[in-house]
Homo-oligomer: A and B are copies of this chain.
C-alpha cells in the first residue's frame, strides 16, 4: 500500500517549511465532542489549520475519506478549480446519524503530489 503520512506533533515542529508542509496536508476532523444517538451530527473535515493548500491542476487534493473505525462512511472527490485555483483550506461537511455504539472517526486525504495523509481520531 502507499506509505501513509502522520505528522506526530506539528505544534512542536520548529522549521517553518516543514510546519507548512505538514499542516496543509493533514486532515483535521472538527465536530462536537458528544453525539447523540439518532440525531444528525455534522462532521467537518478540513485540511490544515494555518497553511492553505494549492488548488492547481497539477497539485490539488484529490479526495477526502471519512471512516468510523473499520467502516467506510463517505468519500468526496474534487476536481482542481473548485477553489478557483487559489490556495485554500479544502473543506467538506459530512452529516451522519450515530447509532447506539460509540464511534471512532478518522479521515484520510490524498494529495496529487504528496500522497496519502491521515487525521487524528475523534
What residues of chain A have their CB less than 8 Å away from a CB belonging to chain B? 1-4, 37-38, 40, 44, 55-58, 62-63, 67, 69-86, 88-99, 106, 108, 110, 112, 114-116, 118-119
A77-B80 CB under 8 A given contacts A57-B58, A70-B115:
no
Nearest CB in chain B to that of A110: its residue: B72
A103 to chain B, nearest CB (A): 10
Return chain B residues, CB-CB under 8 Å to A82: 73-74, 94, 96-97
Other A-B pairs beyond A2-B70, A72-B112, 14, CB < 8 Å: A1-B67, A1-B108, A1-B119, A62-B72, A63-B77, A70-B114, A72-B116, A73-B82, A74-B77, A74-B92, A82-B97, A83-B96, A84-B97, A84-B99
Q: How far is the CA of A88 from the CA of B99 in the complex (A)?
A: 13
| Contact present for B57 and A80 (CB under 8 Å) | yes
Nearest neighbor of A116 in chain B, beta-carbon distance: B70
By a CB distance below 8 angstroms, the chain B residues around A74 are 76-79, 82, 92
Selected contact of A81 from candidates B63, B71, B83, B108, CB within 8 Å: B71
